[in-house]
Structure 1
Amino acid sequence: MAKDVELLLCPVNLRHLETNTRAYDEAVSMAKRRRAKLIVATVAPEMERNLNIRDSEVYWSQQLAKFLNDNPPDGVQVETVVRKGAIHRQIVKLADERKVDVIVMNSANPKVQDYLLGTTASHVVTHAKCSVYVVRG
């Protein structure tokens, strides 16, 4: 049985959004065109380096809500998800669990100048069961 609405996943690295929101912008645009639901997800580290963050899931949920408030996905139904663990594994796991149709993500950490896909994007492209749309920074 086919799903009624297409489902897109856009993982965002909240530590680097000040330099690059192109994948998120593209995901919102794509969701509008396809009349799809958008999952905006972030992955918190297992061990938080910032000792001022007592509950990383709460902290990153608040940061994700702030990001969406600052960058509203007008006209798109959005769900937010915060996971903990290895970024590349959690993206693939979430996409599989939710039966996502397309993952829209950045190619690499914006601080890394590279001619190849970043390790996270490369892992996701290789292991995801759905299509992956990689946005170059």
Structure 2
Amino acid sequence: MSLETKLILCPVNLRHAKVEYNAYTEAVEMAERRGAKLIVATVAPEMERNLNIRDSDAYWGEQLRKFLKDHPAPGVEVEAVVRKGAVHRQIVKLASERKVDLIVMESANPKVKDYLLGTNASHVVTHAKCSVYVVRT
């Protein structure tokens, strides 16, 4: 039985987007090859540490739009999504709600080089109902 990939989810951590976005690059290439739509999502914290951020949804939505403008995906339909909460839970929830075929994500925080999988990737791999492609950072 052949599995078709129509919808790919790629979560990006915008706090580290200037350092690492290998998973995003891989997700764009996969979406292009497979003719799939790409959902690029970021998860904002429930409570911002930065008191200057008054409207978290608007702030992170704008940051995500800037990221997508700086890293275009020609030939790929891209949807930007901002969620709030625990990163690993929101990724799994979004994938389930949207019936995503594949999640493409980074393995860990760029500063944590000692672990194969970070806690977010580990949780997503364990709990997602779809395939998960983990890009080693």
Same fold (TM over 0.5): yes
Percent identity between the two aligned chains: 76
- Matched residue SS, 2:63: helix
Matched, 1:94 2:94: yes
CA distance in 1, matches of 2:34, 2:5: 9
Which residue is 1:15 aligned to? 15
Once superposed, what is the RMSD of the aligned Cα atoms?
1.1
- In structure 2, what is the Cα distance between the partners aligned to 1:27 and 1:5? 12
Give the number of equivalent residue pairs: 134
Structure 1 runs (4+) greater than 3 angstroms displaced: none
Q: Could you tell me how far 1:116 is from its partner in structure 2?
A: 2.3
Q: Deviations over 1:91-127 (max 9, x none)?
A: 0000000000000000000011223210000000000
AA at the equivalent of 1:76: V
| Structure 2 gap ranges (5+) | none
Map 1:39-118 to 2 at 5 A: 39-118=39-118
Alpha-carbon distance between aligned partners in 2 of 1:34 and 1:116, rounded to the nearest angstrom: 27
Equivalent residues in 2 for 1:31-42, closer than 5 Å: 31-42=31-42
Are 2:108 and 2:115, in contact at CA under 8 Å, matched by a contact in 1? no
Q: Using the alignment, how far apart are the partners of 1:73 and 1:54 within structure 2?
A: 30
Distance 1:51 1:82 in 2: 19
Distance in 1 (CA, whole Å) between partners of 2:46 and 2:114 is 26
- The residue identity in structure 2 corresponding to 1:105 is M
